[in-house]
Amino acid sequence: MRKIAVLGAHDTVVGFKALGLDTFAADDEGTARAIFKKLTEPDAPYGIIYVEEGLAIPLESEIARFKDDPSVAVILIPGRNGSLGLGSGALQAAIERAVGSKLDN
């Protein structure tokens, strides 16, 4: 069974730990990049990786590699300060790719 990981600032991931998810705190780009690389290695046990939107911005190119990869889903989540709109934008784009046309709100 594949596991779920959460990558974000300490304040963001602490609540997910209570739910039994594997949490990885990173408060800077370098740490986040190193953790994301380990989470996405071919032998890593993770099928879903939640990434805080604030860390997703500098990791954009790494995250984009998994956009069409069925082995791991990278899902953007808001941080404790609220949403930046990246997660909903990525979801909208994925739905449009699946449906084959632009959807109106």
Which helix (DSSP H) or strand (DSSP E) does residue 87 occupy? helix 86-99
- 60: helix, strand or coil: helix
d(CA 71, CA 43): 11
Q: pTM of the prediction?
A: 0.77
Size of the chain, expressed as the number of residues it contains: 105
Per-residue confidence (pLDDT) for residue 101, from 0 to 100: 55
pLDDT in tens, 32-61: 999 999 999 999 999 999 999 888 889 999
Q: How confident is the model at residue 96 (pLDDT cuts 50, 70, 90)?
A: very low
Residue 82 tokens read as: 């609220």
* Statement: residue 74 has pLDDT above 80: yes
Strand partners, 50: 6, 75
What would be the CATH architecture of the domain defined by 3-99?
Answer: 3-Layer(aba) Sandwich (3.40)
5 near 48, Cβ under 8 Å? Answer: yes
* DSSP run (H or E) holding 6: strand 3-8
The backbone region for 25, taken as left when phi is positive above 0, alpha when psi lies in -120 to 50, beta otherwise, is beta
Quote the mean pLDDT of the chain: 82
